[in-house]
Structures are given as C-alpha cells and as structure tokens.
Amino acid sequence: MTRIALCQIPVSPDPSVNLKRVREALAASAGADLAIFPEATLTRYGRRITGLAEPLDGPFVSGLAEAAREHGTAVIAGVFEPGEDRVHNTAVAIDGQGALKAAYRKIHLFDSFGAKESDLVAPGAEPTVVELAGVRVGLVTCYDIRFPELTRALVDKGAELFAVIAAWGSGPLKEDHWVTLVRARALENTMWTAAVGQAPNPAESSDGFGVGRSMLVDPLGVVRSDLGTGPGVRVVEVDDEWTATARATLPCLEHRVL
C-alpha cells in the first residue's frame, strides 16, 4: 500500500500564504508517503505569474523541500518557473528527504474556453515519470488530462500511478468534464490516478479557478475518494495488488495494436 495525501487547498496570490497552507496540509497528512498539491500552488493564475515566477532553487521550492524533509513526506506541487520569454507551468516532485527529483513543464497549454495560457506560459516537451515513495509517478497538469496520448506515453515510460494537478476553471459542464476525464484516463490505462485541484478561494472567485473535486480513481475507473468542493486533506491508499487484479480482468494494455 502507498498512502497518498490529496491536499485540496485554496490558492492565494501571495506565495507566502500558500507555503503556509502547504505546511499546514502536510501537518494534517500524518502517515502519508506522498502529498499532492494543486497546479499553481505558488500563486494564482493571472499576469502576476510572470513577476512571481521563481527558479527551482528559489525560496518557494526550497520551502517545499524543507517542509517535505521535516515531515518525511514526498511532495508534488505546481509552481511557475522563469523561461526565456515566458514562464513555465512546472510540477515539481520532491522526495521525503527534500531532494528535487523531477520538474515537469506542462506540455498542453489552456488556450480554450476563452483563455490563452500561451500568452504567459511556454510549453514543455517531455513527458515525465519520477520515482517517489517507491512508486513511479507519471506527472499530468490540468489541461493535459484532455490528451490521452500523454498518459499513454507515461505508461510506456513505466508509470505506476498518475498524479494530476489542476487549477480547473469553473463554468457550465466543466466539473463534469474534470470527473469524466480523470476517470477515463484511469480506466483506459488501468492505472491508479490521484487528481488534485485547487479548492475555490472565495476571496479570489472572480477568476473562476478552482472547483475542488480532488479524487482517487482506481484502475477500473471507480472513484474511491472524492473531496467535494471545500478545502481539505484526505489520506488515501493505493493498492498495487488491485492493479494486477484489474489488469488480469481487463488486459487492454496487452491488446494494444497501435
């Protein structure tokens, strides 16, 4: 069993507030091997991200590493990293000793539903799998979940779990899209999928980011845990033996032709 903390926190424009919330969530995650936080944990979306982006050895990621080391818990969280002309939307993966093990730059940018993420963010190019807490974790960020070819590439790179981080935008049917897509990526790859979104932040509700609905989905697409819409931390368990059972029942990865 791997114990994972789904850390559904509201995100402030102020990185210091968000780092404090990360520390509080880790304190509430006793016994977890891995804690997953939302996309853009550094700061809320907006033009501010270009001024608040930090290098991976900057104070925010260093603070995440210190908190991970203090609690002995691996951490995945979303930050913004300076680039050449735009920032990168980056998921950092830090082990329980506080070492940065991987940084995944979001590949698919949210130029949809009237938004234009690519105005501020440069895309990454490399699907990323990282070993944390003894599990090979495939990293997926928000809009990426709409592209099944990415998660299939992560399977081919040896992923044993998908970690999806998001600042999902609200709107008609958007919450349904989130739940459907997370379950679909889990089911079609017979893969445990831990998906964590921002909780709504009433003080910043005008931007529409954050619907909550963080969840753990099993390899047959069953939602094992759903945090609803409010802030919260929940420790859930991933059972590798159930993956083997599911894949014996539904060997679709073995039946691939293309």
Would you name the residues annotated as active-site residues? 39, 106, 142
Strands 34-36 vs 215-217: parallel, antiparallel or unpaired: unpaired
In the DSSP assignment, the letter for residue 182 is H
What does the alpha-carbon distance between residue 220 and residue 82 come to, in Å, rounded to a whole number?
A: 39
Instruction: Give CA 68 to chain center in angstroms.
Output: 16
Whole-angstrom CA distances from 120 to 59, 110, 123 are 22, 11, 10
Tokens of 146: 């709409």
What does the alpha-carbon distance between residue 232 and residue 35 come to, in Å, rounded to a whole number?
A: 12
Residues 71 and 64 sit within 8 Å (Cβ to Cβ): no
The single-letter code of the amino acid at 123 is: P
What does the alpha-carbon distance between residue 126 and residue 107 come to, in Å, rounded to a whole number?
A: 7
Q: From 9, 43, 22, 4, select the one nearest 198 (Cα to Cα).
A: 9
Whole-angstrom CA distances from 164 to 52, 63, 147, 161 are 23, 22, 12, 10
The single-letter code of the amino acid at 89 is: N
Whole-angstrom CA distances from 200 to 35, 61, 231 are 19, 23, 8
What does the alpha-carbon distance between residue 205 and residue 19 come to, in Å, rounded to a whole number?
A: 20
Helix (H) or strand (E) run with residue 238 in it? strand 232-238
